[in-house]
Amino acid sequence: MPSMRIAAIVFRDLEDALKAGGADIVIAVENPSEAITHIENIIREKKADLILVDDKIVARIGKGKLKEIKYKYPVPAIVELETQNRK
């Protein structure tokens, strides 16, 4: 049985933790537009079965925009990664 491929779109402060945690693809971004581009590329290229998105990125993108992407592309699953308060 093939394993689930997990991608994570995060700010740099979470990059190492997600790599160590076993995510197959970890992309550190600087801004929301860069995050959207990477999310859409992962979806188009079918690189992952699950996409984790840093909640700090979602806050900047806007939940409405993330819902729009999820509606347009129901697969793969896109999940907001809730983190503790951090700088």
What's the domain range around 73?
6-81
- 67 located within any domain: yes
On the question of pLDDT at 67 being above 80, the answer is yes
Q: How far is CA 34 from CA 37, 40, 49, 53, 54, in A?
A: 5, 10, 20, 12, 13
- 86 located within any domain: no
Domain count for the chain: 1
The CATH number for 10's domain is 3.40.50.10580
On the question of pLDDT at 73 being above 60, the answer is yes
The rounded distance, in Å, linking the Cα atoms of 48 and 62 is 22
- 16 located within any domain: yes
- 87 located within any domain: no
Q: What is the pLDDT of residues 9-55, one digit of tens each?
A: 999 999 999 999 999 999 999 999 999 999 999 999 999 999 999 99
- 71 located within any domain: yes
- 42 located within any domain: yes
Quickly tell me which residue has 């600087």 as its tokens.
30
